[in-house]
Amino acid sequence: MNVDASIKVTIDPATCTGCGLCILACPVDVIRFDEAAGKAYVAYGKDCQVCYLCEDDCPTHSIGLSHDISNSRRYSVYDQFGIDF
């Protein structure tokens, strides 16, 4: 399917309290801490796998995730065989 590896995760700076739980939660180190702003920010967004761990741990519901497939390195066999639905 080769879906465009666009950014799947966003953090709302208006509601982020800078607690850092999302930074701990991310298994692939997508989120870092902005010292100047005192808030978390998406540093390596294209590596996000949409695993929901950061969203689950955020106490202020500041994290938004796309439901689109998380992964740019998966290919659909339906595309390979030209099967539409």
Partner 1 sequence: MERHEADVLIIGGGFAGTWAALRAAEVGASVILVDKAYVSRSGASTMSGGITTCPLDSDDLDVWAEEFITRGGYMCDQRWSYQLLEGQRERVKDYERWGVPISRDDKGNIRRFASRGMINVRGMQYQPKAAMREMRRRITDLGVKIIDRVCITDLVTSDGCWPTRGAAAGAVGFHVHSGVFVVLRAKRTIVATGMIAMKGTHRVDNDTGDGPAMAFRAGARLIDMEFTFGGTFNVLMKRYDFPSYNVAIAHGARLINSKGERFMEKYDPVRLERSELSHVVAAFAKQIIDGNGPVCVDLRHVDDTYWPDIHRIHRGGGILLSEHVPDPTVTPLPIEPTWGMWASGRSGLQIDLNGRTNVPRLLAAGSAAKNDATGTHASAGSPTAFCNVSGWHAGDCAARESLEEQLPFVPEETLSALRDAAFAPLGRKPGAKTPDLLHDDLARLEASVVDGMVLSGERLQVMLAVTEDVSRMTCEIHAQDLHDLVKVHEARNVAECAGAVYRSALDRTESREQFFRQDYPYTDPSWFCWHGIRRGEQGFIFERIDFPTDGVKFPIKNTEAGLGPIGAIIRGEALQKEHA
Q: State the residues that interact with partner 1 by CB under 8 A.
A: 1, 3, 24-29, 32, 43-44, 47, 49-53, 55-57, 67-81, 83, 85
- Closest contact distance (angstroms) between CB of 7 and partner 1 is 15
Which residue, 14 or 53, has its beta carbon nearer to partner 1?
53
Dig out the tokens for 82 from the structure.
Answer: 């030209």
Contact between 11 and 76 (Cβ < 8 Å): no
Where do the DSSP E strands lie in 1-85? 9-11, 31-34, 39-42, 63-65
Which residue, 16 or 31, has its beta carbon nearer to partner 1?
31
